[in-house]
C-alpha cells in the first residue's frame, strides 16, 4: 500500500504557538507539521505519546515533560527538539544527549519582558498595591492615615540577585535608577555552599536562576530565617527553587515582610492553596515573558532553531548538552 505523500521531515508541535513561528514553519517549505491546535489546554499525555511516533522534530513548551517515555515513544527518527522557553527543567537533558538529539531554546528574546515584570512584581509586593486596590474598591479607604498601607522602598536598599545570568543583570540594570544602595549577586553555578552566600543583608531578594538539582528548594527556611523581617522575596524563575511550606511559614509568622511569585509548584497553584490566603503574598500565573512582542519572538526563534537543526546547521540558540 502506498501511503507516504511527502518526504519532508515530520514535525509535531505540542501547542498552538504564536503566529510568527507558525508562519516561519509554513513558509519554509522544509517541514510537514501537525500541531495540538489549542493554547487553552495542553496536549493530553496519551495523545502526545501517539503523535510523536516517528517524528523528526518536535516543538514543545514548558508544560510537556520530555523524558525517557516520550523519547522512546518518538523513536530514533527524532533529531531535533526545540522548546519555546528559556527554561529547560522540563527536559531530561541526559536522555536527549544520550540519543544525540539536538536541543534549541529561547534565551535573550525574553530578557526585557521578564526583567520588566520582575520590577513590576517587586514594586507591587513591596508597596502593597494589590491590598491597596482592594481596600479602595471595597470601602476600606477611610481618612488618609499616617501608617496605613506602608511598605518598603527601594531607595537606599540592598538588593540581592540570586542567579547572575542575562535576566539577573537586566533586573539589576532596571532597579539601579531607583537609587538602590547596593547589589549583591549570588551566582548559582553548582555550589553546595551556596546557602552560606545568601546572608541576612538583603532588603529585597530576587530569584532568577535556572531550576537544576543544585537549586531545587534552595530558598527554604535556612534562607528565610536569615532574612530581615522587613525583606521582600521575589521569584520569577521556577517554583521548584522554593520550599513553599517554608515560605508560607516565613510569611505568616512575619519572618519576612512579603513575597511576589510568578511561579509556583504546581502550576496552576490550586486556588485553595494556603499561600493565597496571605495578604503579603502576591501570586501571578507565570506571565513574566507574556508580552505580545516577546512571545512572538520566542515562537519565531523556536521555529528557526528547529529548521536549522533539521538542516544540520548550528541553531541560533542551542543548548550545549
Ligand atoms: C521560560 O521561557 O522558561 C519562561 O518560564 C516562560 O517564558
- pLDDT single digits (tens) 58-116: 999 999 999 999 999 999 999 999 999 999 999 999 999 999 999 999 999 999 999 99
Task: Give the per-residue pLDDT at 164.
Answer: 84
Contact 141, 135 (CB under 8 A): yes
Residue nearest to atom 3 of ligand 1 (CA): 87
Residues 118, 45 share a domain: no
Which pTM does this prediction carry?
Answer: 0.94
286 is catalytic: yes
* ipTM > 0.90, yes or no: yes
Residues 122, 254 share a domain: yes
Nearest to 208 by CA among 252, 257, 251, 174: 174
Domain with 86, as residue range(s), is 10-108+292-310
Confidence band of 2 (pLDDT split at 50, 70, 90): very low
What's the chain's Rg over C-alpha atoms?
22
Residues 183, 239 share a domain: yes
Contact 276, 283 (CB under 8 A): yes
Q: What distance lies between CA 236 and its chain's CA centroid?
A: 6
Contact 55, 33 (CB under 8 A): no
The ligand 1 atom at the shortest distance from the C-alpha of residue 237 is 5
Those residues with Cβ within 8 angstroms of residue 269's Cβ, 6 or more apart along the chain or in another chain: 275, 276, 283
Residue nearest to atom 4 of ligand 1 (CA): 85
Residues 122, 73 share a domain: no
Ligand 1 shell residues, CB under 6 Å: 62, 85-87, 110, 289
Confidence band of 191 (pLDDT split at 50, 70, 90): low
Distances (CA, A) of 14 to 122, 168, 173: 33, 29, 35
In a domain, 298, yes or no: yes
Ligand 1 centre and the CA of 86: distance in Å? 5
Provide φ and ψ at 115, rounded to 5°: -65, -40
* All cell numbers assigned to 271: 486556588
The ligand 1 atom at the shortest distance from the C-alpha of residue 294 is 7
Amino acid at each position: 500500500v502506498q501511503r507516504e505523500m511527502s518526504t519532508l521531515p515530520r514535525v509535531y508541535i505540542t501547542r498552538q504557538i504564536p503566529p510568527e513561528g507558525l508562519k516561519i514553519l509554513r513558509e519554509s517549505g522544509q517541514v510537514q507539521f501537525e500541531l495540538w491546535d489549542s493554547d487553552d489546554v495542553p496536549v493530553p499525555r496519551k495523545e502526545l505519546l501517539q503523535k510523536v511516533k516517528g517524528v523528526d522534530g518536535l516543538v514543545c513548551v514548558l508544560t510537556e515533560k520530555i523524558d525517557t517515555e516520550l523519547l522512546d515513544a518518538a523513536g530514533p527518527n527524532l533529531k531535533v527538539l526545540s522548546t519555546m522557553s528559556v527554561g529547560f527543567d522540563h527536559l531530561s537533558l541526559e536522555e536527549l544527549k544520550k540519543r544525540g538529539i539536538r536541543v534549541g531554546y529561547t534565551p535573550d528574546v525574553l530578557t526585557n519582558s521578564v526583567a520588566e515584570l520582575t520590577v513590576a512584581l517587586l514594586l507591587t509586593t513591596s508597596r502593597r498595591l494589590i491590598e491597596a486596590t482592594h481596600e479602595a474598591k471595597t470601602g476600606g479607604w477611610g481618612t488618609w492615615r499616617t501608617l496605613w498601607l506602608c511598605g518598603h522602598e527601594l531607595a537606599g536598599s540592598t538588593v540581592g540577585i540570586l542567579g547572575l545570568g542575562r535576566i539577573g543583570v537586566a533586573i539589576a540594570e532596571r532597579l539601579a535608577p531607583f537609587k538602590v544602595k547596593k547589589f549583591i549577586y549570588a551566582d548559582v553555578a553548582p555550589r553546595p555552599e551556596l546557602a552560606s552566600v545568601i546572608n541576612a543583608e538583603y532588603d529585597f531578594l530576587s530569584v532568577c536562576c535556572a531550576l537544576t538539582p543544585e537549586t531545587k528548594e534552595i530558598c527554604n527556611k535556612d534562607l528565610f530565617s536569615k532574612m530581615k523581617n522587613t525583606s521582600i522575596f521575589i521569584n520569577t524563575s521556577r517554583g521548584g527553587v522554593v520550599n513553599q511550606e517554608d515560605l508560607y511559614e516565613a510569611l505568616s509568622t512575619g519572618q519576612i515582610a512579603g513575597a511576589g511569585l510568578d511561579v509556583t509548584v504546581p502550576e496552576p497553584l490550586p486556588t485553595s492553596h494556603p499561600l493565597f490566603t496571605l495578604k503579603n503574598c502576591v501570586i501571578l500565573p507565570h506571565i513574566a515573558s507574556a508580552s505580545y512582542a516577546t512571545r512572538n519572538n520566542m515562537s519565531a526563534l523556536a521555529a528557526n532553531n528547529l529548521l536549522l537543526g533539521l538542516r544540520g546547521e548550528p541553531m541560533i540558540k542551542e543548548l550545549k548538552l
